[in-house]
Amino acid sequence: MIIEICANSFASAKAAQDAGAHRVELCTQLSVGGLTPSYGCIEKVVKELDIAVHVLVRPRAGNFSYTHQELDIIKRDIAFCQSIGCQGVVAGVLDSYNQVNIQATRELVEASKNLEFTFHRAFDVAVDPYKAIEDLEALGVTRILSSGQQPRAIDGIQLLKQLKNKAKKLQIMPGSGINKTNVISFKEAGFKMVHFSALKNTPAITGDAAVSFSQGVEGSSDQQTIAEIIALIAQHS
The DSSP code sequence of 131-186 is HHHHHHHHHT-SEEEE-TTSSSGGGGHHHHHHHHHH-SSSEEEEBSS--TTTHHHH
What was the pLDDT predicted at 229? 98
What was the pLDDT predicted at 218? 78
What was the pLDDT predicted at 206? 63
Q: How far is CA 106 from CA 69, 73, 132, 141, in A?
A: 17, 16, 13, 9
214-224 residue pLDDT tens: 665 679 999 99
What was the pLDDT predicted at 213? 56
CATH number of this structure's domain 2-235: 3.20.20.380
pTM over 0.75: yes
Average pLDDT, the chain: 95
Query: CA 154, 56, 172 angle in degrees (round to 5)?
Result: 35
What was the pLDDT predicted at 207? 63
